[in-house]
Chains A and B, each alone.
Chain A
Amino acid sequence: MSAVIELEKLGVRLAGRQILSDLSVTISGRSIGLLGPNGAGKTTLLHTLLGFHNASAGTARVFGKDIGTEAKALREMTGYMPENESFIAGISAVKFVRLMAELSGIPPWAALERAHEALYYVGLGEARYRNLETYSLGMKQRVKLAQAIVHAPKLIVLDEPTNGLDPPARLRMIRLIREIRESGKVHLILSSHLLRDVEECCDEVLVLKKGRIAAYCNLEEEHRANKRFIELEARGGSDKMAEALGDRGIEWAKSGRDRIKLILPNTLRIHDLFRIANERGIQIRRLDHKRDSLQDIFMKAMEGEPVGGL
């Protein structure tokens, strides 16, 4: 897959402060999660990719287009859902979304049609003639999503899309984002400080810390790798079980009384473990895959900073 975002020693200075430094990465995933604690530079990176801020050092390319010299062409293929409450006063949702579509170059008649469709798509079909000022926070978030997708961009930038939403509204938003991702027609960048949002919606994750890249990984690959990390509880002879695993060349380590952690080789499957246990007369009472991989990645990236501080 060709690169979506290419950063090369990218640095951004704002108001005399270095916000981003020395970012170098090539991202090619369909949906990219941007994680980091408050002040890590997530929003600044998004704004720089959108051309709101100039790079003070290095270069950045989105779909091969330079953000400095080809900003207009880039914005033609980008949809942006800002973090804060943003709307145009005094107009209905359908007029607002139509206006946004027209500003992206869609002719008026097609813009109106797509505005209706986008609002139905995000579940605001019945409320589309209401003035935006009368919308609840959840509805305003959805109308922001509608304006971001109305012109069918190739890349949608979502900055904290679930901010301030109650659990049902958050689930609805996540479902919409996943649906858009699964349509296969668009790339997503989702910035969030909620690990769960990123885990549910993204294939790749870029973790920022103090304006630098702290981690970059493919969640799919991580998940796949994690499936090979197994912890089991063997009743009736964990030492015998460990020995049997060792005989088959499986890496293992004791993680407590009767508990063994192991990395399952590609040549073996889970039911082989049960077979081995059965041969030695051992009961496997519990078997778990490694969980919370994103949290682990994040914690490692933060080098022990508490997740609660996010």
Chain B
Amino acid sequence: MFKNASASRITIVFVLGVIVGLITKVKIIDDFLWVTLFSLIFLVGVSMGLDMSRILAMSREKILWSLKLVIATVAGSLSGGLITYLLLGKPALRYSLAISAGMGWYSFTGTYLTSMDPYLGFLGYLSNVLREIYTYVTYPILGKKLRHSPISLGGATTMDTTLPVITSVSGSEVGVLAFIHGALLTLIIPVIIPALVSGLLP
């Protein structure tokens, strides 16, 4: 996810990074990485704050539906991480849960995990980019048959990159739910992933 960053462009930037890294062997200092990540999180917060009046103006019923979707998305993502860990045996449980807890926010998950181990960052980044792509592919099929539940497919991306697909398939009413769902997940993810990695959660 973020703000019209199409999957193809993001892939090109990623591949470019790999090529430049292989040629120059340049090493990015962690401080720069953290400053960039925190700046991104701060700006995401500001844009959510600017949009907050719009969210608060929505009916309580819509917010409740979105909350149900958020609970389902978080539960599904974390149990997915647990099952993957049980199937593959590595990386360690807390990292497996953290990768799946990215819920589509690849720039945050990839960067946060890459500061610990570049391999984990690679897994966190690619798995979450794929989640966005799966949503692009499957939502038009599922969204026509089922009204609300397919929103969970997109995770945090439903507030920006996959929102146009959701709105065009299911209409603006479902689009509003998708936006709140994505916004709430965007608030939760920067709390869940560090908590999981630091072992605060079981």
Instruction: Tell whether A and B belong to one assembly.
Output: no
